[in-house]
Amino acid sequence: MRPFSVKAFAKINLGLLITGKRADGYHTLETIFAPINWYDTLEFKDSELLSMSCSNADLPVDDSNLCIKAAKSLQRFAGLQKGVAMKLHKEIPFGAGLGGGSSDAAAVLRVLNEFWQINASAVDLHTLAVKLGADVPYFLATKGLAYARGIGDELDDLRLTIPYYIVTVFPEEHIATAWAYKNFHARFDRELPDLKHRVSDLCLSGKKDGLWAFENDFETAVFDHFASVRRVKLLLLEAGAIFASLSGSGSAVFGLFEHEHDAVAAMICLPETYRTSLTPPRFSMEQ
């Protein structure tokens, strides 16, 4: 088979509410996942051995890499030892809260299930995905917006897309998920907004008065410790964003814009060292 490649898109969290902590130490949450036009590229080609290389030397390609873990989980599931050579062209920054590693892992599960002719069911792939990471099932099964609960693995495909330009900014701060969960300010006893209802109003009716509901529970702690991240949110709002927020548990910040010229102007006003992405309205992960 000739070498081929696929895109693994990133996501933002439109609202991220930490709702509790389970006995096993995992936190429960509610969030809206939304895809953005920022992606890694994975190349695959025939090989007798399972191997991986990466364009970013800072990212390990041993058994600790989620792509290798995904491939080996399929091997164990199917009871086979087939090989493949994978090359990851890394563009999504890690430590950003954009789910790049999870998206890469989901792409590996999806591709190798066909490449190795395993034909695992969607249910089986979901089970493998959950074991790899809480965000992996989203990238595996959904193209647009999804409501997530549990540890992020219980998904409702909303079949919606965001009707605004999305500017996503990585201010060159790497924030570990473990740090974010250790330092966030818990508010488990509050009354939760209906995220599904609010995002439906936003996407179908253009109602912006419910944007207040999309808060991120990591934001206060991250902004207290990383002034540069807080500053990005302020810059996006000053540039005309109708809403801006931290994404996920990392340092990336996104803003929603009604007009493309405002979105582009916002990107220009940011420090040149910051990596950015512009996502058009109604974007989905269809390839």
Domain termination residue (choose one: 101, 130, 157): 157
Domain termination residue (choose one: 100, 123, 157): 157
Q: What is the pLDDT of residue 2?
A: 76
Question: Does 285 fall in a domain?
Answer: no
Backbone angles phi, psi at 226, to 5 degrees: -130, 90
Whether 255 and 116 map to the same domain: the answer is no
Distance CA 64, CA 127 (A): 19
Distance CA 243, CA 212 (A): 9
Whether 172 and 80 map to the same domain: the answer is no
Residues annotated as catalytic (active site), given as ranges: 11, 135
Q: Which domain holds residue 20?
A: 4-157
Mind listing the pLDDT tens digit of every residue in the chain (287 residues)?
Answer: 678 899 999 999 999 999 999 998 889 999 999 999 999 999 999 999 999 999 999 889 999 999 999 999 999 999 999 999 999 999 999 889 999 999 999 999 999 999 999 999 999 999 999 999 889 999 998 999 999 999 888 999 999 999 999 999 999 999 988 999 999 988 888 899 999 999 999 999 888 989 999 999 999 999 999 999 999 999 999 999 999 999 999 999 999 999 999 999 999 999 999 999 999 999 999 74
Sign of CA dihedral 258, 95, 224, 20: positive
Distance CA 94, CA 36 (A): 15
Whether 77 and 128 map to the same domain: the answer is yes
Indicate the pairing of strand 50-54 with strand 84-89: parallel
Domain termination residue (choose one: 131, 157, 183): 157
The pTM for the full model equals: 0.94
